Structures are given as structure tokens and as C-alpha cells.
Amino acid sequence: MSWLLVYPILIPLFTAVLAYLFRNSPAGRWISVVGTLALLLASVMLMSEVLDQGVVAGQMSNWDAPFGITLAADLLGAVMVVITAITGLATVIYTLAEIPERLEKLGFHALLQTLLMGVCGSFLTGDLFNLYVWFEVMLISSFGLLVLGGTREQLDGGIKYVLLNLVSTIMFLAGIGLLYGMTGTLNMADLHLAVRQVENQGLLTTVAVMFMVAFGVKAALFPLFFWLPASYHTPPVAVSAIFAGLLTKVGVYALIRMFTLIFDQDVGFTHTLLLWLAVVTMVTGVLGAAAMNDFRRILSFHIISQIGYMVLGLALYTPLGLVGAVFYLVHHIIVKANLFFVAGVAKRIAGSTDLSRIGGLYAHAPVLAFLFLIPAFSLAGFPPLSGFWAKYVVVKAALDLEMWFVAGVSLAVGLLTIFSMTKIWGAAFWPSHPDGIKPRLSDIPTGERMALMLPIVALAALTCIIGLFPEPFVQFAERSAQQLLDPTEYVTTVLGVQP
């Protein structure tokens, strides 16, 4: 078995332990930086392995599948691990300037690393119950990060986040129990074969809907998203950014994995349901964003609306639709984390995230204004940025199926996204500051300014690269979509036999 599969889980684990031991000294945060760099290196190596050899699978302790614990990486899993490492690294660098020492002494970096471990584990596991366990690792770390510091806002948002996510977890567990009762296996590749032999296909569809609800809560699908705008704007910006970038996407990833690999027996029902949920999610999310008046809350609602596009790509269930979903997933993580980073810098120099209480960013911090425009336009879908290609592929897939209404709605949602972005621009960047403050980037000490701006510049550059040279990325998404739609390679690699 390949050790490359284990590194993305082991590295954050060791980093977390070391960072916790050194939490009282400045060494802790540098351990976190180095650990995340190592994670990035390991994930890129895993990626090149998957590109070379196709699906990589490993059985822990040499217990053959389906009896042992399986780790498996196909193209989708590998790219998600890479993007997790990139976002993680950007966040860790950003926290160097943003997280007060008080939180570091409480073990902030250890929690951040266990969060990365949980996310990587979720992407790499090939076993349903282990997915549940990795979700829990991820959840408990995110609970900790969310309420660390314990301000009134954080506790208020934290309660809703914790309770609603626990409901989804319990739903997930019930689904696992019932699925095991029907098929007698929890290995995902084995389940792909086993669900075809279940006599009571109606019951299987019921279980599929339970999984849909469970992952729908995690992914913030309509009508299960209320915990997200209630909580994502309350913790420190770096935490918001990594949550916004990664956590909901784990839900989307799980949806894609389950509804291509296992629950593809009743596509007419499940994927139609997903389609309409996706459409309503897009609309409600963007309307919520248009109604909000706070920088970070607008961005939180945008996550919901963008989740709609990704699930739409999955729900169309055509090769092109899945290409769109995968491409969108990758593009969105980069863009969304970046927007939150910009919001954090804006708060730092202008004093607030409430749009009516800030201003003057364009006049005094033009660099930041420019760096805001790149992810904002990308999110709204302006060519030639990455969001344009992502939206283009999804809309094209809908048009190919002659779903005019769905395509029309997704285009209209794009327009409304631009509207809410201009709202931020028109309130925070364009007019002068209501209190007469001149928000200058140069007011931040040089070292901290570097730590804040480096991730923003790097992620903006990545957005531009994907946007200007989409060809290799689309080709990658195409190969990944092929693997998802025809999981024969995945199944044979994991089970080690020809089915």
C-alpha cells in the first residue's frame, strides 16, 4: 500500500500534537506553518501519484477490503486534499498576524491542524463509517475553533452551529446503520456492488434521502442552511475563511461521492430532488446576500448560493455537469477563502465589517480594492476569471439537457451576485469613511502586513491562473468526472478483484 495516502492524515496529527505542546511559545505557530507546508508537499505528491497511476488505494494493516479500513484517492479526492492544503497554508500564514496570543495559548493551532486532519481524512477514506468518524474529528475541531475566545457573538452563533450539525450527524449515523442492515458492508466500493443486489429498492431510496439530508445540512443546502449565516461571521476572520472555504465543501464532496458511487440506482427521484433543492438554494442564498448589510454576512450567504451551483452540477448527472461540479468546487474554495481574508483586512484597517460604518478603502488602500475585485468578479462569474468557466460549464450542461428554466435561474443568480458585490463595493470601498478614518494598509506593521497580504495575493493569482489557462484544469475535471460516472476503476482498485 502507498504511504502517500497516510501522510495527509499523519502530518496534521503530528503537527497538532507539537503545536499544542509548544502553544505557550512563539514556536507553536511556526510549527503550524511548517506542518502545513509539509502537508502541501505530501498532497502534491499524492496528486502526481494519482495522475500517474490512476486510483490509489491502501488497506490499513493489510486487512483486505471490505473487511479492513480502506483509504482511497481518486482524482477528485486527491485534488480536494491539495486544495485543502493550499487553503490551510494560506490560513495559517494569515493567522500569524490575525490571531491574538491569548487564543494561541488556548491551543488554536492544534485545533486548526486537527480540522485539516479531519477534512483530509474525509476526502481519503473509502469506508462509510470512517467517513462518519472523520466528520466528527472535523466537527469537534470546528466547534472548538468557532467558540474559542468565548465572545457573546461566538457563543450565540456557536450554539446554533453545534446543535444543528449534531442533528445532521445523528441522521448520517442512522443512515449508516440502515444501509449496513440492508447490504452487510460499509466499504464504499463494495457498497457500489452490494446496493444492486438489494431487493427492496424503495427502502434504499429512503436511506439515500437520509444521507441527502445529513450531507445537505453539512453543505448548507436549502432548507437546511440556517446554522451557516448564524455562525460563520462570528469567529476570527481566519477561522471564518477556512470554514467558508472547506467545511461546506466536505458536505458537497460527500454528496458527490455518495450520489455517484452508491446511490445511482434511482437517479430519476434522488437527482431530480437534488436539482430542485440546488435551484432553490441558489436563489435563497443570493437573496439573503442581497438583504444583508454586513461584509462577512453577505459573504456567508454567498456560500449558500454557490453551493447550489455545485449541487446543480451533480444533479444534472451528465459528464459535463460533473465537470462543472468538480471545477466549481475547486474554484470556489480558493475564491471564498480569499474574500473572507479581504474582509478581515478591511475590518482591521477600517474598524468594522458593518457596511454602514466603513468606507474609504478605495481611496486609501487601492491595492486591497483591486485584490477584492479579483475574487469578487470571479465569484460573480466575470470572464476571464475562474468563476466564469465554472458557471459556463454548469450552465452549458443545463442547456444541453434543455433545462431552460434552470439555466435561466442560474444566470439570474449570477446577476444578483454582482449586485450584492457592488453593494459591498459601493458601501465599503467607494465612499469616504463615515468617521473620517483613513484606512491605510501602511498603518499595519510591515511583518503583519506581509502575513495578511501574502495569502490574498497568492490566492488571487491562483484564481487568475485558473481563469486565464482553464484548459488543463477543465481536462482534469473531465477525467475526474469520468472516474465518478464510471467507478469501475475505483471499485477494482479498492477491492483488488475484477467484479
Note the residues at the interface with other proteins (CB under 8 A).
Answer: 129, 132-133, 136, 139-140, 143, 147, 150, 152-160, 162-163, 166-167, 169-170, 173-174, 176-178, 180-181, 229-231, 233-234
Residue 317: other Cβ atoms inside 10 A: 22
Least spacing, CB of residue 176 vs other proteins, in Å: 7
Compare residues 154 and 420 and give the one whose CB is closer to other proteins. 154
| Cα 429 off chain centre by | 27
CB 163 to other proteins: min, Å: 6
What is the C-alpha to C-alpha distance for residues 365 and 382, in angstroms, rounded to an integer? 23
Instruction: Output the smallest distance, CB 80 to other proteins, in A.
Output: 23
The dihedrals phi and psi of 458, each to the nearest 5 degrees, come to -65, -45
C-beta of residue 321 within 8 angstroms of C-beta of residue 397: yes
Cα separation, 4 vs 10, in Å, equals 10
Q: Closest approach of Cβ 186 to other proteins, in Å? A: 8
When the beta carbons of 176 and 325 are compared against other proteins, the nearer one is 176
- Cβ nearer to other proteins, comparing 227 with 388: 227
Minimum CB–partner distance for residue 192 and other proteins (Å): 19
For the CB of residue 227, give the shortest distance to other proteins in the complex, in Å.
11
Q: Which amino acid is at 407?
A: A
**Rounded to whole angstroms, how far apart are CA atoms 467 and 229?**
29
Closer to other proteins by Cβ: residue 234 or 417? 234
User: Which C-beta is closer to other proteins: that of 54 or that of 68?
Assistant: 68
How near is the Cβ of 491 to other proteins at its closest, in Å? 21
In whole angstroms, the minimum distance from the beta carbon of 152 to other proteins comes to 5
- From the CB of 171, what's the least distance to other proteins, in Å? 8
Q: What span, in angstroms and rounded, lies between the C-alpha atoms of 153 and 476? A: 42
How far from each other are the two terminal CA atoms of the chain, in whole angstroms? 21
C-alpha cell at 174: 442512522
Distance CA 122, CA 133 (A): 8
Distance CA 19, CA 36 (A): 11
Q: 170 or 415: whose CB is closer to other proteins? A: 170
Residue type, 492: T
> Is the Cβ of residue 284 or residue 482 nearer to other proteins in the bound state?
284
Report the alpha-carbon distance of residue 371 to residue 254 in Å, rounded: 32
Q: CA nearest 390: which of 473, 457, 316?
A: 473
The CA distance from 176 to 231, in Å, is: 28
Cβ-based nearer residue to other proteins, 301 or 341: 301
CB-nearer residue toward other proteins: 234 or 386: 234
C-alpha cell at 249: 465543501
Task: Enter the C-alpha cell of residue 394.
Answer: 454548469
State the residue for C-alpha cell 441527502: 212
How far apart are alpha carbons 152 and 165 in whole angstroms?
Answer: 20
